[in-house]
A and B are shown apart, each in its own frame.
Chain A
Amino acid sequence: MGDFWGPDLISDLPQSIIESILVRLPIRDAVRTSILSSKWRYKWNGITKIVIDEKCVPSGNDPTIVEKSLIKFVNQLLFLHQGPIHKFQITNSYLQSCPEIDQWVLFLSRNDLKELVLELGEGEWFRIPSCLFNCKKLTRLELFRCELELPLTFKGFLCLKTLILHQVLISPEAIESLISSCSLLESLSLSYFDSLALTIHAPNLLYLYLEGEFKDLCLEDTPLLVDISVAMYMTDDIAEHFEQSSSCNFTKFLGGVPNLERLAGHIYFTKGSSNTPPATDAPDLDFWSEECPSDCTLKQLKVVKLTDMCGVPHEMELIKFLLANSPVLETMSIVPCIYVMESQLKMLIELVRFRRASARAEIIFVRD
């Protein structure tokens, strides 16, 4: 009807380039290209990255209908797909734990899966099927609100570099076993665990992020660590445990991390005790001189950030230790606990006295 068709600009590009373009589209748009023309029917089929996120929600108000529609979409997607799927991510609050997800994981385990991210809705926690452990090429595993149980025959994900577990139900032995069996692990993030006592063996670990209630932490084999970030909830029980324990967790931390460049620590009290400052007449926790290995110089440490510092003895000892043993330190940020106004001045007075190994070190006392 008078339309002048210019040359087709895109359909004859090499398939690898088409895939590079399609992989950058939201998944629904990518799949919809199959109706553009007969040439486009199967171009999307080989994309190796599938992300079902919040944008992927079909129209509709009823969450049950939306969920059903999403499940149907993913089923169809996987059924029509051809070839390996390297990355599969679900970050969608409408999708709850359901049997179909088991089947998807099974399908993925047969298709060269390398990265899996599962963040389902706030309902019942999804129980990870054992077929996940057949994904020999897994390099990244990120799980939110799941239950994980290691099969007895599991020898580890030998290619795993990144492990992120957030609110995952797993026994402490299983976590330790999982970490130590993934010998190439470079980045580990564990958050929202209850009363975890953890010993970490990870010879290739570079980044460690921990958040939760940790009863005890021991870095036993982590010589390559570059970045540590610890946010610890302190309940009364755990605080008591620390005070009575003869081996300080921080010593166990800092003794074996010669390559550490960044350290962030945040210790805060859970709801019950947040209004009461810890007893300032607690027994002086003098374990630095005894427990600390002779050469504890943190030769690479450049940046330290400590949050919610109340000025109690073991915190001040930690700061003193860090300042004295970090010859290339550039900044130490201290964010004092807001409930302890009067003690801030006392903390500052003490701080100013501490010897510094690094002439460049800036101490930044952050007041909101």
Chain B
Amino acid sequence: MSSPVEQITVVSSDGDEFKMTVAAAMQSEQLKQMLTDDSISIVKVPVENISTEILVKVIEYCQKHADHEAATKANGGGASDSEAEELNKWDAEFMKVDVEDKLFHILMAANYLEIKGLFDLACQTVADLIKGKTPKQIRKIFNLKNDFTPEEQERLSRQHNCSFD
């Protein structure tokens, strides 16, 4: 290939096109594989199961983390504690999304594109929603229906030595 690729285009399931810098794209193992494989010439990458709304968020994450990596490298290797903390704060803000609407879509997108940092972050966010809550509270958050019969509830509740609520 003649000139090095600096940007790639990803196409959402809604048909909208977005440009991503190579550095950002490399945050995704899937895209990274495509970029480093010389036999594939990349024009546009369709990501069929990711909507525009989610893709925008994903690209935002990838760009932020790519920028952070570049800045760290420029400083000679180790990220300072304050820089790492700043990134964590950014991640926390980033993940303040609607559970109903976006959280799981972001999780699935990160899984599909193999973006480890985002996947871990999303999983942890879901875990934090479950941690320390009663079953009733958890069911409410995720719209789960308690479909156990009263006898099953009784038995399981004794087995696990805890309440169903």
**Real binding pair:** yes
Residues on A facing B (Cβ under 8 Å)? 5-11, 13, 17, 20-22, 24-26, 29, 31-38, 40, 76
Q: Is A24 a contact partner of B144 (Cβ separation < 8 A)?
A: no
Indicate whether A9 sits within 8 Å of B138 (C-beta atoms), given known contacts A24-B124, A31-B160.
Answer: no
CA distance A24 to B148 in the complex (A): 26
In the bound assembly, the distance between CA atoms of A5 and B147 in angstroms comes to 13
Q: Assuming the A-B contacts A6-B100, A8-B143, A9-B99, are A17 and B107 also in contact, with contact meaning beta carbons closer than 8 angstroms in the complex?
A: yes
Contact A17 B146 (CB under 8 A): no
Chain A proximity mask over B115-149: 1 for CB below 8 Å, otherwise 0: 00001000110110011100100110011111110
Please, how many angstroms separate the alpha-carbon atoms of A22 and B124 in the complex?
9
List the A residue with the shortest CB-CB distance to B132.
A29
In the complex, chain A residues whose CB is within 8 Å of the CB of B108: 13, 17
- Nearest chain B CB to A77 CB, angstrom units: 11
Query: How far apart are B110's CB and chain A's nearest CB, in angstroms?
Result: 10
Judge whether A9 and B145 touch: CB under 8 Å.
Answer: no
| CA distance in complex: A76, B156 (Å) | 13
A4 to chain B, nearest CB (A): 9
Q: Nearest Cβ distance between residue A11 and chain B, in whole angstroms?
A: 6
Is B145's CB under 8 angstroms from A5's CB? yes
Q: In whole angstroms, how far apart are the Cα atoms of A71 and B145 in the complex?
A: 32
A66 to chain B, nearest CB (A): 13
Contact check, A35 vs B135: say whether CB atoms are below 8 A apart: yes
Q: Is B33 an interface residue (CB 8 A)?
A: no
- Using Cβ atoms and an 8 Å threshold, which residues of chain B touch A38? 147-148, 152
What chain B residues lie within 8 Å of A32 (beta carbons)? 135, 160, 162
Contact at B130–A33, with CB atoms within 8 Å? yes
Mind listing 6 A-B residue pairs with CB under 8 Å?
A9-B142, A9-B143, A10-B104, A17-B108, A20-B123, A25-B130
Please report which residues of chain B, range 94-115, place their CB below 8 angstroms from some CB of chain A when the two chains form the complex.
99-100, 103-104, 107-108, 111
CA distance A112 to B103 in the complex (A): 33
Task: State the CA gap A350–B135 with chains docked (Å).
Answer: 69
Q: Is the CB of A36 within 8 A of B160?
A: no
B30 within 8 A of partner (CB): no
Question: Least Cβ distance of B163 to chain A in Å?
Answer: 9
> Who on chain B is nearest to A19 by CB?
B123
Q: Give the nearest-CB partner of A10 in chain B.
A: B142
Asked if B162 contacts A36 (CB within 8 A), the reply is no
Q: How far is the CA of A35 from the CA of B111 in the complex (A)?
A: 27
List chain B residues, Cβ under 8 A from A25: 127, 130-131
Task: Report the bound CA distance from A13 to B122 in whole Å.
Answer: 13
Q: Which residues of A contact B111 (CB under 8 A)?
A: 17
